[in-house]
Amino acid sequence: MELYAERGFEQTTVAEIAARAGLTERTFFRHFTDKREVLFAGGDLLQEAIVSAVQAAPESSTPIDAVAVGLDAAAALLQEGGDFPRKRQVIIVANPELQERELIKLAGYAVAIAQALRQRGVGDPAASLTAEAGIAVFRVAFERWTSGSEQRDLAELFHDSLAALKAVVGAAGS
């Protein structure tokens, strides 16, 4: 992360990353397929935390409230990462290739959340729409949290963004 911040993602080599970490390049490649994976390696854990929480939400939960439980799990996991999520986001925002990879990752989360909602008995298109709305809430709140302009807890930002979405949807239905 320090190298990416100092030199930029494109200019940083695997050899430099390995040397800074006190590893050989060979050891680096045992853990990561390429230098992008340093930034995206925890994505599967985050997706699993979200999906597991959606699945474990109380049966009485509405689909969007089940997704909110998943967002709470995401907030807890991300906040455990200290400054890493914020530093990571700065690097991603500065690189279009990484932005594209991030969007693909988020699309995968939406697919997984929709599947979890279907397993809860939510039909389509409601499962897909709710999952996509949940990811929109995630993106908006996460961007606010990582920008440094917000000092509040990530879970609070998720809840605020979800409330704003509900208000917009409620107003549109009137």
On whether both 23 and 48 belong to a single domain, the answer is no
pTM given for the model: 0.90
On whether both 132 and 163 belong to a single domain, the answer is yes
CATH number at residue 47: 1.10.357.10
On whether both 48 and 21 belong to a single domain, the answer is no
Phi and psi at residue 60, to the nearest 5°: -75, -5
Q: What is each CA distance from 13 to 4, 8, 25, 79, 118, in whole angstroms? A: 9, 10, 10, 28, 43
On whether both 16 and 89 belong to a single domain, the answer is no
Looking at residues 13-41, what average pLDDT do you find? 92
Q: Would you state the pLDDT for residue 54?
A: 98
| Sequence letter at residue 48 | E
Q: Would you state the pLDDT for residue 173?
A: 64
Q: Which residues contact 26 (CB under 8 A, 6 or more apart)?
A: none
Name the residue range of residue 2's domain.
1-40
Q: Would you state the pLDDT for residue 105?
A: 95
Dihedral of the CA atoms 71, 73, 74, 77 (nearest 10)? Answer: 160
On whether both 102 and 146 belong to a single domain, the answer is yes
Find out whether 45 and 77 touch, Cβ atoms under 8 Å. yes
On whether both 23 and 77 belong to a single domain, the answer is no
CATH number at residue 20: 1.10.10.60
Q: Would you state the pLDDT for residue 148?
A: 76
- Specify the long-range contacts of residues 108-111, CB closer than 8 Å, at least 24 apart: 108/43, 108/47, 109/46, 109/47, 109/50, 109/135, 109/138, 110/134, 110/135
Q: Would you state the pLDDT for residue 2?
A: 87
Tokens linked to 68? 């909110």
On whether both 97 and 162 belong to a single domain, the answer is yes
Share of the chain above pLDDT 70, in %: 97
On whether both 134 and 79 belong to a single domain, the answer is yes
Q: What is the pLDDT of residues 135-167, one digit of tens each?
A: 999 999 999 999 877 678 999 999 999 999 999
Is the pLDDT at 171 greater than 90? The verdict is: no
